[in-house]
Amino acid sequence: MATHTMIAHSSSSALAASSPLKETLPLFTTRSLTFPRKSSFSRFRLRFFAEKLSQLDSSNGCASLQDSGEHLTEEHDTKEESSTLSITVVGASGDLAKKKIFPALFALFYEGCLPQDFSVFGYARTKLTHEELRVMISRTLTCRIDQRENCVDKMDQFLKRCFYHSGQYNSEDDFAELNTKLKEKEEGKLSNRLYYLSIPPNIFVDVVRCASLRASSVNGWTRVIVEKPFGRDSESSGELTRCLKQYLTEEQIFRIDHYLGKELVENLSVLRFSNLVFEPLWSRNYIRNVQLIFSEDFGTEGRGGYFDQYGIIRDIMQNHLLQILALFAMETPVSLDAEDIRSEKVKVLRSMKPLLLQDMIVGQYKGHSKGGKAYPGYTDDPTVPKNSLTPTFAAAAMFINNARWDGVPFLMKAGKALHTRGAEIRVQFRHVPGNLYKKNFATDLDKATNELVIRVQPDEGIYLRINNKVPGLGMRLDRSDLNLLYRSRYPREIPDAYERLLLDAIEGERRLFIRSDELDAAWDLFTPALKELEQKKIVPELYPYGSRGPVGAHYLASKYNVRWGDLEDA
């Protein structure tokens, strides 16, 4: 086994710079309001400082901090001026890079969240000039609604910092050339380098090998953001981790799950741990079931080739929904530090029962015509085999074997080509014992339990469904929502998940990235059922494009005496 690592390849000062200990955050003391080096300091804490200084303006918290130069120490200024950040987007010609990564980087620049001295490199095989890359990127850049005035100038400034290098993913020479170009931009300053692997997973290791051996920073940190999928099962995921760790330390690997960067997912812990009214209810004593629901109103159009190798369980459930579940169900972490939170997530994942085939159902969408328009079936995609059994829909019931959650079904449902697009967490509470008002409900009492809904997207919001009296002389009860709709409460645009996660990676904040033991625990829960599904060649239930999905999902829920909450909203 090769023993090179980015650290081994670097000088001793690089070793120090990339050591986790070096990235430990200095503590805030009231004696002096000294800011630590910004690049090693989480935005989370910078906000804390900023609030202390009453300088947080109405932006997302970065511009005000850049503007607060007079409060920074000389030491900070010197370090900031003498360091550079190079962000290399590997797979720059691809869908994700264009759709999400470049726009997120621009948004960070626009908000003043990137360091003074940064450059962005695109790397891919496609032959492009710097100018062609800039034209490509410029098509997807947008400005925040409330600050449009200087948008064009800002875009120009950003695009001037963007460069392109064409190369093969397995060529050390091509990465050595990239290294030369990066060094030109870095001008001998302390250089921090971030690689974003926006490429298919089969070339992750090649890129990491070439980048680590030939294009890692010699005097600053080098970090690599790895996109999903992290393997197809426990074995392949373990193998990927082993291969990556030949070249990188765990601290250098930032495994991204972009759902963790979504505003409402971030808010989950705040809701739970900062409101006395929720935490006491957060257990089997009061919660009847929890539902994690993801739906898209479009199919796998354009991504059929990728999707067919993975399917909806690996694409959405094993990562996005399971991560939300872990945050929802974990015990209170010792602190908000990344390792404390991630350790609690691992604990709860390891307390879960691996998914059983009898606790899941799978579906696949078929072609459908509606309003004179024909919608294709999954297997109509030319990149998908005609006899594919890959699920585009799945529902599953999972359980946590610990004192808090014993017996509570956690139901997941995820599907493509459904009637609507959305992601939400639904918490259905138990009945009020000996309900005084049993006979005053017009509807079935079973529907009259409280429900807390955290709507991740679209129309981000949190609402609590309660029972109330209908005004009038009679005594009829109704259900209403106490509704925190973000659009009304916070009219400012919510940053995209990729913005938050990119900024965190730049700042070395690992809280929202997946640690390797979390990943192992997540795969252990799904691998046996996935294998059985494939070995037994289970045929998915067909559902029409644009429908509510297979009826099997209702049978699964009713087996655990649950009704899907989203259907009652409809």
Ligand X SMILES: O=C1O[C@H](COP(=O)(O)O)[C@@H](O)[C@H](O)[C@H]1O
Our measurement of the distance from residue 200's CA atom to the centroid of its chain's CA atoms, rounded to an integer in Å, reads 18
Q: State which residue, 258 or 426, has the beta carbon closest to ligand X.
A: 258
Our answer to whether residue 431 is catalytic in this structure is no
The nearest distance, CB 184 to ligand X, in angstroms, is 35
Q: CA–CA separation, 38 vs 42, rounded Å? A: 8
- Counting residues that bind ligand X (by CB under 6 A) gives 3
Query: Cα-flanking dihedrals φ and ψ of residue 129, to 5°?
Result: -90, 170
Q: Contact between 533 and ligand NDP (CB under 6 A)?
A: no
Our measurement of the distance from residue 342's CA atom to the centroid of its chain's CA atoms, rounded to an integer in Å, reads 14
What would the x/- binding string for ligand X be over residues 274 to 303, using CB under 6 A? ----------------------x-------
Q: Contact between 133 and ligand NDP (CB under 6 A)?
A: no
Say which DSSP state 142 is in: -
Catalytic option among 4, 76, 130, 320: 320
Binds 528: which of ligand NDP, ligand X, none (CB < 5-8 Å by kind):
none
What would the x/- binding string for ligand X be over residues 243 to 262, using CB under 6 A? ---------------x----
Q: CA–CA separation, 500 vs 495, rounded Å? A: 7
Residue 545 tokens read as: 């494009």
Q: Contact between 315 and ligand X (CB under 6 A)?
A: yes
Q: Contact between 227 and ligand X (CB under 6 A)?
A: no
Q: State which residue, 256 or 396, has the beta carbon closest to ligand NDP.
A: 256
Q: Contact between 125 and ligand NDP (CB under 6 A)?
A: yes
Q: Contact between 105 and ligand NDP (CB under 6 A)?
A: no
Give Cβ neighbours of residue 9 (< 8 Å, ≥ 6 apart). Answer: 212, 213, 216
Q: State which residue, 46 or 292, has the beta carbon closest to ligand X.
A: 292
Q: Contact between 200 and ligand NDP (CB under 6 A)?
A: yes
Give Cβ neighbours of residue 194 (< 8 Å, ≥ 6 apart). Answer: 85, 86, 87, 88, 222, 223, 224, 225, 505, 506
Give Cβ neighbours of residue 384 (< 8 Å, ≥ 6 apart). Answer: 300, 304, 305, 307, 308, 378, 390
Q: Which stretch binds ligand NDP (CB under 6 A): 57-65, 227-235, 481-489, 525-533?
A: 227-235
Among 6, 124, 400, 529, binds ligand NDP (CB under 6 A): 124
Q: Contact between 199 and ligand NDP (CB under 6 A)?
A: yes
Contacts 24+ apart (CB under 8 A), 264-268: 264/454, 264/455, 264/456, 264/457, 264/460, 264/461, 264/462, 264/486, 265/323, 265/324, 265/327, 265/456, 266/500, 266/512, 267/454, 267/462, 268/324, 268/327, 268/328, 268/425, 268/454
What would the x/- binding string for ligand NDP be over residues 73 to 102, using CB under 6 A? ------------------x-xxxxx-----
Residues in the chain: 570
Measuring CA to CA, which residue among 319, 355, 327 is closest to residue 343? Answer: 327
CB 451 within 8 A of CB 428: yes
- Counting residues that bind ligand NDP (by CB under 6 A) gives 19
Q: State which residue, 93 or 379, has the beta carbon closest to ligand NDP.
A: 93
The nearest distance, CB 331 to ligand X, in angstroms, is 27
Can you give the binding site for ligand NDP, defined by CB under 6 A?
91, 93-97, 124-126, 169, 198-201, 203, 227-229, 306
Can you give the binding site for ligand X, defined by CB under 6 A?
258, 296, 315
Active site residues: 320
